[in-house]
A and B are shown apart, each in its own frame.
Chain A
Amino acid sequence: METKTNILDSLKGEKNPFKVPEGYFESLGPALQEVIDQKENEVKTEPFLSRFRPLLYAAASVAILVCATVTFISHNQENVEQARNQVPEEINGIQTKILYTHLEEESIIYYQVSE
């Protein structure tokens, strides 16, 4: 027990093994002042931005929504116009013919099965 206590006692009497750069404590004051000044400036500018941040977000959202709506409507109108201009009228007739043909075939099959 005595030996154990002596270890810590002897270590306590030894020189501090940790060192600091030369002149560290003398330069600490101005260095800390610089850090505090920097942070103070950050704090001073932050409320201005943070005050307007929600407004900026809202304005950006509205702008995006308006742009998206305008683009969608104009694009949709273009498509309708294109469809009207480009689709030949005969297509309706062709489609009707195909439908009739299909119906006729189904009717024949149904007729044949039921018989």
Chain B
Amino acid sequence: MIHPKFPFFDYIYITKNDNRVQESELIEQLKDESTQSQAFTALVKKYQEQVYWLIRKMVLSHDDANDVLQNTFLHAWKGIKTFRGDAKFSTWLYRIAVNETFTFLANAELKNANNMTDLEDVMVQNLASDEYFEGDELQVKFQKAILSLPPKQRMVFNMKYFEEKKYEEMEEILGTSVGALKASYHHAVKKIESFILMED
């Protein structure tokens, strides 16, 4: 049974009634316009939390993460015809999420250009008063240390440290060689450790 109005609800029927629906089947369904919407919603449901957390760890605020996530899925839906299934759906979706996140951060940087306080400092200040952040002093310091990294290196660190992604998958998402990613992560770890110890 397919929900007539909200295809996004369809995953409920798909997953409840047929647990055997595999990602490869959903990818096949994406190519057919009559099943495209249902397959997309099922895939979105599968990856929405992972993608959300990747974005959230970069932008920190829940509201901003929600906006970037919506844009990510919107662009994914618009560009669904360009998805040929050569790469994994998750890789393709992550790539869109990464681009949307960098675009958001670049725009935030532009909006903050006239502000005497750096964007990263503003983000840390907002974090302290965020109702959806319950970290202690050490956690705030940790976020401050991560924010001291340039955005791309921050993304590399977050993907490896929090998401525990393989370098090969990160290479496909970020378009950077495994060697460069390893070096970037190694330097990021050093910088963060030094930052935390220096602040103590």
Residues of chain A having any CB pair with chain B under 8 Å: 3-5, 7-8, 11-12, 14, 17-21, 25, 28-33, 35-36, 39
Asked if A8 contacts B189 (CB within 8 A), the reply is: yes
Q: Are B44 and A4 in contact (CB under 8 A)?
A: no
Cβ-defined contact, B134 with A17, below 8 A:
yes
Q: A16: nearest residue on chain B (CB-CB)? A: B53
Q: Is B101 an interface residue (CB 8 A)?
A: no
Please give me the residue from chain B that is nearest to A29 by CB atom: B8
List 10 additional A-B contacts (Cβ < 8 Å) besides A17-B134, A20-B62.
A8-B193, A18-B57, A19-B132, A25-B48, A29-B6, A29-B9, A30-B8, A32-B44, A33-B6, A36-B73
Tell yes or no: B36 within 8 A of A by CB: no
Chain B at the A interface: mostly helix, strand, loop or mixed? helix
CB of A29 within 8 A of CB of B133, answer no
Q: Which residues of A contact B192 (CB under 8 A)?
A: 8
Interface 9-residue window, one of B21-29, B84-92, B135-143, B147-155? B135-143
Which of these, A5, A32, A39, contacts B8 with CB under 8 Å? A32
Flag B49-71 by CB within 8 Å of A: 1 or 0 each: 10011001100101000000110
Cα(A32)–Cα(B149), bound, Å: 31
In the complex, whether B45 has a CB less than 8 A from a CB of chain A is yes
CB <8 Å contact, A35 and B138: no
Q: Mark B11-40, 1 if CB is under 8 A from A, else 0.
A: 100000000000000000000000000000
> Given A11-B139, A11-B142, A14-B139, does the pair A35, B62 have CB atoms closer than 8 Å?
no
Q: What are 18 A-to-B residue pairs whose CB atoms are below 8 Å?
A: A3-B197, A4-B193, A4-B197, A7-B197, A11-B138, A17-B139, A18-B53, A18-B60, A19-B62, A19-B134, A20-B52, A20-B62, A29-B11, A31-B70, A32-B8, A32-B74, A33-B7, A33-B41
